[in-house]
Amino acid sequence: MLAAAGAAAVSPEPNKRCLGIDVGGANIKLAHVDGWSFSQPFAMWRQWENLASTLAPLICQCPDFDVVALTMTGELADCFATRADGVAMILEQVTRIIPSPLVQVYSVDGKWRSPAQAAREPWMAAASNWHALATWASRFLVSEHGIVVDIGSTTIDLIPIRKSGVATQSRTDSQRLLRGELLYTGVERSNIAGVVRSVPLFGKRCPVMNEQFATTRDAYLWLGKLPEEPEDRNTADSKPATVDGARYRLARVVGEDGSTLTDSDVTAIAQAIFDKQVATLRKGIERVVARQVRLERASKPTCLILSGHGGFLIDSSILDGGDFSQPVSLLESIGPELSRCSPAYAVATLASESIHTSDEKTSAS
């Protein structure tokens, strides 16, 4: 079982009320230092001009705040010619509804920038949410060093950390991909053809169709690892995210339909997808561990900190020959809703503590 971190590890009482906003390419996530959080799908590549109008009602729902801590990954969406354009647009949209002086932008060097500074240095603000999460999560370490595993709808982050913070020189997505610290596979949006080449069917291995007929979410809906959301039609066929809908979507990847396959046929397909993602994750962790041991010249990390909403993948990795004797589940520590929005909660907490420290220094001088 994954152990929950003790309550003492939670951040100190904030001096200012901070709201964290994580603007991704597929989701917007908000979290307040008081523990409120909210996540909403947002297709940046289609709706980028509606970011401000989408954020506004969400912000109206949240508790009162004095400061907004902003982080992002949505600048990579292909609606933007460059990531600098994406950073500028996100900053412009956010400051339409929140006065610029109230906004602090988290950067991959661990520093805060104003919106104007972030627009001038877009590579510092771009793809920064993983760094914020790892910096904050390092407080949960129960050994000298470890790895943060954040499993989301689209990607998996594998971030080496030590007690002093982030333990990688990576700053950009491409650097993280090259070092194996970013796996572009997730538990909801990944195309089945990008996960497996073939699946069991009628006693044989059947190649899957390289078409967006189904996603990993369908596999986990069918296996009961993700909940049904009948009102959500953000699926491959724009039909409800239900178990029955998943049946028909999964059947299409092998040229069948939901009426021609038995339950056991569909289960075999979904299980093959699950097994492949578990194997990919296990291999990724092993690669990051090996690199960390080599660079740190230290013993093998034993603390693994789990974040996100795909914990069922890492549970299997640990039980199947894993070496992590000191795992920590943020899902158990801060709850499932905050864990799903953990980068937003991380920047909110870091900003609150940064302001708290600055105010203490000012008072002392």
Residue 106 has pLDDT above 90, yes or no: yes
Cα–Cα dist 35/286, whole Å: 33
Cα–Cα dist 322/300, whole Å: 12
Cα–Cα dist 333/227, whole Å: 21
Residue 217 has pLDDT above 70, yes or no: yes
Q: Residue 200 phi/psi, 5° resolution?
A: -70, 140
Please tell me the total number of residues recorded for the chain in this structure.
365
pLDDT of amino acid 10? 36
Tokens of 236: 């491959």
Residue 356 has pLDDT above 80, yes or no: no
Stretch 83-101: mean pLDDT: 96
**Would you say 266 and 247 are in contact if contact means Cβ atoms under 8 Å apart?**
yes
Stretch 29-42: mean pLDDT: 94
Spell out the domains of the chain, with CATH numbers in brackets.
8-132+335-364 (3.30.420.40), 142-187+277-331 (3.30.420.190), 192-276 (3.30.420.190)
Residue-wise DSSP of 273-338? HHHHHHHHHHHHHHHHHHHHHHHHT-PPP-EEEEEES-HHHHHHHHHTT---SS-EEHHHHH-HHH
pLDDT of amino acid 27? 92
Provide the whole-model pTM. Answer: 0.86
Confidence bin at 219 (pLDDT 50/70/90): very high
Q: What is the pLDDT of residues 314-337, one digit of tens each?
A: 877 666 555 676 678 887 888 888
pLDDT of amino acid 359? 44
**Would you say 188 and 153 are in contact if contact means Cβ atoms under 8 Å apart?**
yes
Cα–Cα dist 189/204, whole Å: 27
Rg of the chain in Å (alpha carbons): 21
Of 89-98, 231-240, 289-298, the least confident? 289-298
Cα–Cα dist 319/276, whole Å: 16
What CA–CA distances, in Å, run from 321 to 102, 103, 316?
Answer: 48, 45, 9
Residue 155: CB partners within 8 Å, gap ≥ 6?
182, 183, 184, 185, 186
pLDDT, averaged across the chain: 88
**Would you say 97 and 52 are in contact if contact means Cβ atoms under 8 Å apart?**
yes
What CA–CA distances, in Å, run from 233 to 137, 179, 239, 245, 246?
Answer: 33, 35, 5, 10, 12
pLDDT of amino acid 9? 33
Q: What is the pLDDT of residues 243-293, one digit of tens each?
A: 999 999 999 999 999 999 999 999 999 999 999 999 999 999 989 988 888
Q: What is the pLDDT of residues 154-207, one digit of tens each?
A: 999 999 998 888 999 999 999 999 999 999 999 999 999 999 999 999 999 999
How many C-alpha atoms does 242 have within 13 Å on its Cβ side?
7
Q: Residue 185 phi/psi, 5° resolution?
A: -150, 140
Query: Could you tell me which residue, 218 or 15, shows the higher pLDDT?
Result: 218
Of 1-15, 143-157, 222-236, 296-310, the least confident? 1-15
Q: Quick one: what percent of the chain has pLDDT higher than 90?
A: 73
pLDDT of amino acid 335? 84
